[in-house]
Amino acid sequence: MRIKISGVGEPVLRGKARPLTPEEIGSQRILDLIEHMRETLSDALGVGLAAPQIGEPLQLAIIEDKVAYHANISEADLAERERTPVPFHVLINPRIHLVSSPEVAFFEGCLSLPGFTGLVPRARRVLVEALDHRGQAVRVDATGWYARILQHEIDHLRGTLYIDHMWSRSFSSLENYSRHWKSKTTEELRQAFENIP
């Protein structure tokens, strides 16, 4: 069952999500919620979805960056973004540690802000400690695009959206991004947006 994704302006996207209790983790309700989130994410062609995005203020996120999503991206762009496929997994009550400073900027979008994008500086490497859908402890050491996805989704659990981190003057419709910015190098984008007052 595909669930409606909450759009920017919905209060649930700006509140802090609550941790799941040990009794909730592994319950049928949460397992069903994860499955519905997975179907919703797949239908939306996204790489991550946090429970607040479907109206549930819970510290729960899912991630999957499918091989198919890389088909129309050049090898050079995949390499620059350090983007490789990430298998489906669940993060419950995650804690994130930035191993590097947020200095790698790429355009980012969000299923809760469809049709727009902006340049967002993120840490290249992160460590995440969380529980999986069975309540087992997991530790993720991620770099590149995977680290970006983790930061984006865990931000949702804190009521933070990518627009809170982006270089505000880079905010663009997807149409204008494709027309004006998509073919620019990272250095050209930095020169265009990083130091503008």
Mean pLDDT of 146-164: 98
Question: Per the domain annotation, does 1 fall within a domain?
Answer: no
CATH number at residue 122: 3.90.45.10
- Residue count of the chain, please give it: 197
User: Of these residues, 103, 153, 175, 188, which one is catalytic?
Assistant: 153
Domain ranges, residue 20: 11-193
Residue 122 in domain:
yes
156 lies in some domain: yes
Instruction: State yes or no: pLDDT of 59 exceeds 60.
Output: yes
Of residues 24 and 191, which shows the higher confidence score? 24
* Band of residue 194 on the pLDDT scale cut at 50, 70, 90: confident
Residue 96 maps to a domain: yes
Structure confidence at residue 186 (pLDDT): 85
- Residue 153 bears catalytic tag: yes
- Taking the C-alpha atoms of residue 180 and residue 110, their distance in angstroms, rounded to an integer, is 20
Q: What is the DSSP letter of 91?
A: E
Whether 62 maps to a domain, the answer reads yes
1 or 106: which leads in pLDDT: 106
The H or E element containing residue 87 is strand 86-98
CB 94 within 8 A of CB 157: yes
Number of domains in the chain: 1
pLDDT for res 197: 53
Average pLDDT over residues 107-133: 97
